[in-house]
A and B are shown apart, each in its own frame.
Chain A
């Protein structure tokens, strides 16, 4: 196996970090999804990211963008739930958007998450404000856009803050999509499970990239 560049090694670290967070929060996600969804979110997120983390670390692929696309493909195969496939789509589109860019810069991170957002919007046919992961993803992309020239850690701090505010805002929204849409008004006052998982992804990036 070819030696990993620092950039490429960062992909392994990011996925391991997200996988760890999903695994720690498995029961929490099951619980909040059980209230307004079908309760399998913790299982599918844990499965998706542990497969992706394991697959990417043993993958002989030097290019960052291709490793991220591969992570998405592994998720799609291992966790074909709605959120599993949306996360998979995000990594595939984010990786594709990245091209020759790398992720250890604020600019690269912006390109990745912008691609992630475009992929999820296309696949999920939802808009911000409808109580989905987009309500975390969209503010994160806007925060990163404003920090393109900033320090990586500044950009990650801003992204995390935007994610937290975005998640908080979902409490005031009514679900329009997926199984949660059945519960409609009963979803008021509760944070969206998918948006919560999205926040964990951002958290995983931050924890991995600021400790490098």
Chain B
């Protein structure tokens, strides 16, 4: 293992100390626990959004704490859920009387801890609602979407629900919008190399030098097919039609695409991927209105990428276009 570390067991806390030192104007923490990350400015009265999950996926999750996206985020160990107690402390800190919406990925540890935190918050009369992101089409078929893993498509939930909350919508409305996004976003990934959890110190799985694994999860969960590495265009041609089939947008639909690097794939390659995506969208009669290309949900140093596609309507487009400003993601207001 070759990594820039001081000690594997202090990986998460030292990362957080670095982030807090770099962005003191945007981020803070509560309850004397650096793993309970909250937005610095919590003065505006609005529905609060919280996410959370294991470390090792930056910018997901805490990187999206800021204006127009999340208000708070408990941070767990690498690929481990934060505790219900940390979620509860964050929930108390970010609630401004308008309630809190939890948006997190579909993993059992996160679900039980967030459920428990919601129960604790309920004792304090804080209203909490939950939307569980489940966008990975490789992890379960369309008739079992409740079993799907949450991966990079969760970015769209943060962005769009975040903008709706910022615009002053109430908790039921923000939840409705987050659920709408959830039903209209699909993701699939491909991996070329494994990731290493610092505490474990060795790769989570092995994959041959000339191989790729289609549909792999962001913790190294097995995918749907392993085979010889093929050209960028061929890989896009295998993945993108699966997303289009899953969402079955009408011809002429407006879509937004997120090409996400998993940690060790350069942007150059991501744009080679997007080049082919643009061609396929055109062939299929789909209109891309906003493209995000970069690292949005990573898996330590895993090489590979994922493609997320969301089918927009006027309401979602309006919130996607809104401004957002977090330490890891900034967008000015767009005219889409």
Q: Which residues of A contact B (CB under 8 A)?
A: 38, 40, 73, 76-78, 80-82, 85-86, 88-89, 123-125, 177-179, 181-182
Main secondary structure of the interface of A (DSSP, over half): helix
Tell me the complex Cα distance, A86–B221, Å: 23
Given contacts A40-B80, A123-B112, 16 further A-B contacts (CB under 8 A): A38-B79, A73-B85, A76-B84, A77-B83, A77-B85, A80-B84, A80-B86, A80-B113, A81-B81, A82-B81, A82-B109, A82-B112, A85-B109, A85-B116, A88-B84, A178-B108
Distance in Å: Cβ of A43 to nearest Cβ of chain B? 10
How many A-B residue pairs lie within 8 Å, measured between CB atoms?
54
Closest A residue to B85 using CB positions? A77
Contact of B80 among A76, A81, A178 (CB under 8 A): A81
Chain B residues with Cβ below 8 Å from A73 are 85
Residue B153 CB within 8 A of the other chain: no
Q: Given A85-B116, A89-B116, A182-B222, do A80 and B108 touch, yes or no (CB 8 Å)?
A: no
| Residue in chain B with minimal CB distance to A73 | B85
- Chain A residues lying within 8 Å of B147, measured Cβ to Cβ, are 181
In the bound complex, CA of A181 to CA of B108 (Å): 11
Our pick among A80, A123, A178 for the contact of B83 (Cβ within 8 Å) is A80
Q: For residue B204, which residue of chain A has the nearest CB?
A: A38
CB distance from B147 to the nearest CB of A (A): 8
Residue B68 is within 8 A (CB to CB) of chain A in the complex:
no
Please measure, in the bound complex, the distance between the C-alpha atom of A178 and the C-alpha atom of B84, giving whole angstroms.
Answer: 17
**Please, which residue of chain B has its CB at the minimum distance from the CB of A44?**
B80
Most chain A CB within a 10 A radius of its CB, from B81, B115, B116:
B116
State the CA gap A40–B219 with chains docked (Å): 14
For the complex, is B105 an interface residue (Cβ under 8 Å from A)? no
Which B residues are in CB contact (< 8 Å) with A88?
84, 116
Write the nearest CB–CB distance from B297 to chain A, whole angstroms: 19
Interface size on B, residues (CB 8 A): 19
Judging by beta carbons under 8 Å apart, are A81 and B85 in contact?
A: no
Given the contacts A77-B85, A177-B108, A85 and B113 also touching, CB distance less than 8 Å: yes
Find residues 120-169 in chain B having any chain A CB closer than 8 Å to their own CB: 147
What separation, in Å, do the CA atoms of A81 and B76 have in the docked complex?
10
Q: Is B109 touching A81 in the complex (CB atoms < 8 A)? A: yes
State how many angstroms separate the Cβ of A42 from the closest Cβ of chain B: 14
Contact in complex: B108, A82 (CB < 8 Å): yes
Give 10 closest A-B pairs by Cβ, nearest first: A80-B83, A178-B108, A82-B109, A85-B112, A82-B108, A77-B85, A123-B112, A76-B84, A80-B81, A182-B221
- Enumerate chain B residues within 8 angstroms of A181, measured Cβ to Cβ: 147
Q: How far is the CA of A19 from the CA of B108 in the complex (A)?
A: 24
Given A80-B76, A182-B221, A182-B222, verify A86-B83 contact (CB < 8 Å).
no
A76 CA to B117 CA, complexed, in Å: 10
Bound complex: CA of A178 vs CA of B149, how far in Å? 11
A-B contact pairs, 22 of them (CB 8 A): A73-B85, A77-B83, A78-B83, A80-B76, A80-B84, A80-B85, A80-B109, A81-B81, A81-B109, A82-B109, A85-B112, A85-B113, A86-B112, A88-B84, A88-B116, A124-B108, A124-B112, A177-B108, A178-B108, A179-B108, A181-B147, A182-B222
Once the chains are docked, how many angstroms separate the CA of A76 from the CA of B112?
Answer: 11
Distance between A194 CB and nearest chain B CB, rounded to angstroms: 11
CB contacts (< 8 Å) of A177 on chain B: these are 108
Mark each residue of chain B from 72 to 93: 1 if its CB lies under 8 Å from any CB of chain A, else 0: 0000100111111110000000
State A80–B86 Cα separation when bound (angstroms).
10
In the bound complex, residues from chain B placing their C-beta under 8 Å from that of A182 are 221-222
Say how far B53's CB is from chain A's closest CB, in angstroms. Answer: 11
Chain A residue at smallest Cβ distance from B147: A181
Which residues does chain A contribute within 8 Å of B85, judged by CB atoms?
Answer: 73, 76-77, 80
- B 187-225 contacts with A by CB, 8 A: 221-222
Closest to A79 in B: B83
Residue of B with least CB distance to A85 = B112
Q: Which of B79, B83, B221 contacts A76 (CB 8 A)?
A: B83
CA distance A160 to B306 in the complex (A): 48
Most buried by A among B109, B111, B115: B109
